[in-house]
Amino acid sequence: MARVREAALGLALVAPPIAILLLLIILPAIQALTFSLGLVPSENVTFSSGQHLVRSDIPTLEVYRQLLASPFVIDDLRLTLSVTVLSVIFVAIVGYILALYVRFGNGWLPRIVRSLYLIPMFVPVVIASYAAVTFYVDRGFLASLFWHLGLGYTSPAYKPAGIVITQVWYNIPFAVLMLGSGLDGIEQELIDSAHDVGAGFFSVLWRIILPLNLVPLLIVLTFTFIGVIGSFTIPFLIGPNAPQMIGVAIQAYFSNYNQPQPAVAMAVIVFAIAALAGVLYVWATSRSNRHAVTL
Amino acid sequence: MTANRMPTPVAEREQELAGWTPAGIRLTWFWDVPEFRRALGLLLVLALSAYLLLPLLTLLLWAFADEWRYPSVIPQHFSLKWWDWVFTNGDVGSAARYSFETAPVVTLISAAICLPAAYSFSRFRFPGRRALFISLLAANAFPKIGLYVAIATLFFRLDLMGTFWGVVLIQLVGTLVLMVWIPAAGFDAVARELEEAARDAGAGPLRVFWSITLPLAMPAIIVACFLAFLAAFDEAQGTLIVGSPTIVTMPVLMYTLVVNYPEPVGAIFSILLSAPSIVLLLLARRFLLAGYLAAGFKGR
């Protein structure tokens, strides 16, 4: 009886946020999915008045077939995936170096870094992108600095490199916080005893720190991946016009081309890829939490 | 750390792995020289500072510039005239007002509905507990732009388009994960012994919650509130679709300003828009570094 009451109370308390999630994410997502399968809702004028509609009474993959047959869309997808993968790799590397430096460094320099790396977390993403554009653009601030140093300058702005640079900038705080908290959990005695048997810094890193800190790393990889692959603002402001990242393409199909159906189909594709990364997160965390003391 | 330890069999194998070159010089030799290590640290800090701060410095300079042409590293002419323009522009004032009205309201509502849920996820057993907890992630995994048409249809039907509460609702979605996951980890971390001791001393369940559990979980809740506020304050895409043309917040206006006005306007606006965040950074820094954010994302 007590168990039933506990379950009822528990469910009642989690109901409000779940209801909002259901109403504003899950149901619209289902509607987007069915619409992308050719089931056009007649009562939704934005959907039913779109150009290039595929209408069907039974679910069909025609929209996806047409999308994937378009060389432009393929280019957009390719750019999205490569920018995402590169951003994730760089965030992981830079984040790890910083987390190690903050954890194991001594003196005033690491103390400065401890405040410095948090800054991007508190800069709205619109501003981060705008700052990056004004800084990296041709004949901008960085170009001027290069000119005074007598160096040639090729601007990364409006190129895929610009997106990666800004994404890494924006994602550093989360990565370092996550990895740093994992590193704090590694016992100092373990590292000391490895040193005592003669292991150098790099073998301690490779043999002890990396394996013990694998789950935080996986979390950083998945969340950065999910964040970058569906991003809009950064690629919109600093990315190239063509090919563009899917987030920007979705927006263009919606508002510029009035083609909501391919737009939602692209959103479904991005979600499917992001969900794969989500599965990795769930797998990694549930594995590690099963070994930990359950609360 | 030092090179002059006795080489042991383990160490030899490790050195092999760490990359001895055929000439017998370890690739990581520089690490064993303290001066190199310190110089490397300094270089790292300098590079990081440049990477993180120079773009922001560019905006700061632009905000006070009247004319700034390549290849000068500082503006040719400084001026405050664009500040006048920004402060006397009615759009900017109303955008600031809307931003500072919506974001705190979103944070409060989010806390009111998510904190009980976080407590429930932490303490109660119920069917679907883990699945529901993880499902909150969907709010961040589905590209929002793909949902906004469906959401807009719904909002039209509910008469929420272009209204304050419509904007609050759309901004609320992005705060759910933060406001449930981080406080849930905070509640997890409260030692049960303390609660049981209080109960043994005769405190009722509510008393235990208010005087033991909540205060101990408070740092995590504070981090969640800060991040939820920033998420709401930062939200532009949904606010643009749901709120315009009546409710234009600062990030939404920023898109227009960046495209249509000269650099100083965007730069000044950026400074105004970042100011509250920087204040939050100074306030929240201690709690953020204490690992509450990370704990929230460790899953269960």
Helix axis angle for B148-157 and B164-173, nearest 10°, is 140
The residue that leads in pLDDT, B89 or B129, is: B129
Do B91 and B26 lie in a common domain?
Answer: no
For the segment B258-277, the average pLDDT, to the nearest whole number, is 86
Do B95 and B204 lie in a common domain?
Answer: yes
ipTM, two decimals = 0.87
Question: Would an 8 Å CB–CB cutoff place A130 in contact with chain B?
Answer: yes
Please name which of A71, A59, A173, A278 lies closest in space to residue B140, comparing C-alpha atoms: A278
Of A197-201, B88-92, B94-98, B237-241, which has the strongest mean pLDDT?
B94-98
Task: Tell the residue number behind the tokens 């908290």, with chain if given.
Answer: A181
Q: By mean pLDDT, which of A44-48, A88-92, B154-158 is the weakest? A: A44-48
pLDDT of the residue at A282: 85
Of A75-84, A147-156, A247-256, B14-23, which has the strongest mean pLDDT?
A75-84
Q: Measure CA of the first residue to CA of the last residue in chain A; give whole Å.
A: 22
Do B21 and B135 lie in a common domain?
Answer: no
Q: How does DSSP classify residue A24?
A: I
pLDDT of the residue at B11: 54
Q: Is residue A19 part of a domain?
A: no
Question: Would an 8 Å CB–CB cutoff place A295 in contact with chain B?
Answer: yes
| 3 state DSSP class of A193 | helix
- Judge whether residue B142 has pLDDT over 70: yes
pLDDT of the residue at A295: 35
How many domains does chain B contain in total? 3
* Tens-digit pLDDT profile for residues B64-88: 988 888 888 888 888 888 888 888 8
Do B59 and B97 lie in a common domain?
Answer: no
Do B233 and B209 lie in a common domain?
Answer: yes
* Tens-digit pLDDT profile for residues B12-36: 555 555 554 455 556 666 677 778 8
For testing contact with chain A, the best of B124, B169, B229 (most A CBs within 10 A): B124
- Judge whether residue B272 has pLDDT over 80: yes
Burial (0-12, 13-18, 19+ Cβ within 10 Å), B112: exposed
The residue that leads in pLDDT, A286 or A19, is: A19
Q: CA B35, CA A61: separation in Å to the nearest integer? A: 63
pLDDT of the residue at A160: 95
- Judge whether residue B2 has pLDDT over 50: no
Q: Is residue A6 part of a domain?
A: no
For the segment B208-229, the average pLDDT, to the nearest whole number, is 92
Segments in A185-259 forming alpha helices (H): 188-196, 201-204, 210-212, 214-229, 233-238, 246-251
Do B68 and B161 lie in a common domain?
Answer: no
Do B74 and B110 lie in a common domain?
Answer: no
Q: By mean pLDDT, which of A12-16, A34-38, A121-125, A205-209 is the weakest? A: A205-209
Q: How many residues does chain A have?
A: 295
Q: Is residue A51 part of a domain?
A: no
pLDDT of the residue at B297: 86
pLDDT of the residue at A199: 78
- Judge whether residue A293 has pLDDT over 50: no
Share of chain A above pLDDT 90, in %: 46
Of all residues in chain A, the one with the smallest CA distance to B111 is A17
Q: Is residue B273 part of a domain?
A: yes
Question: How far are the Cα atoms of A177, B137, B165 from residue B106, in angstroms, in the given order?
Answer: 25, 19, 9
Q: CA B102, CA B119: separation in Å to the nearest integer? A: 25
pLDDT of the residue at A251: 86
Q: What does pLDDT average to over chain A?
A: 88
Read off the CATH number of the domain in which A95 is found.
1.10.3720.10
Which residues form the domain of B25? 1-32
For the segment B104-122, the average pLDDT, to the nearest whole number, is 96
Of all residues in chain A, the one with the smallest CA distance to B186 is A295
pLDDT of the residue at B13: 53
Q: Check the CA dihedral B30-B33-B38-B42 and report its sign.
A: negative
Which residues form the domain of A266? 60-123+162-291
Q: By mean pLDDT, which of A51-65, A176-190, A253-267, B15-29 is the weakest? A: B15-29
Q: Is residue A135 part of a domain?
A: no
The residue that leads in pLDDT, A160 or B241, is: A160
Q: Is residue A48 part of a domain?
A: no
| 3 state DSSP class of B26 | strand
The residue that leads in pLDDT, A44 or B226, is: B226
- Put simply, the answer to whether A10 touches B129 (Cβ < 8 Å) is yes
For testing contact with chain B, the best of A25, A43, A232 (most B CBs within 10 A): A25
Q: Measure CA of the first residue to CA of the last residue in chain B; give whole Å.
A: 36
Read off the pLDDT band of A244 (50, 70, 90). very high
Q: Is residue B37 part of a domain?
A: no
Q: CA A218, CA A271: separation in Å to the nearest integer? A: 19
Residues of chain A contacting residue B295, judged by C-beta atoms under 8 Å apart: 181
Q: Is residue A132 part of a domain?
A: no
| 3 state DSSP class of B67 | strand
Q: What does pLDDT average to over chain B?
A: 84
Q: How does DSSP classify residue A117?
A: T
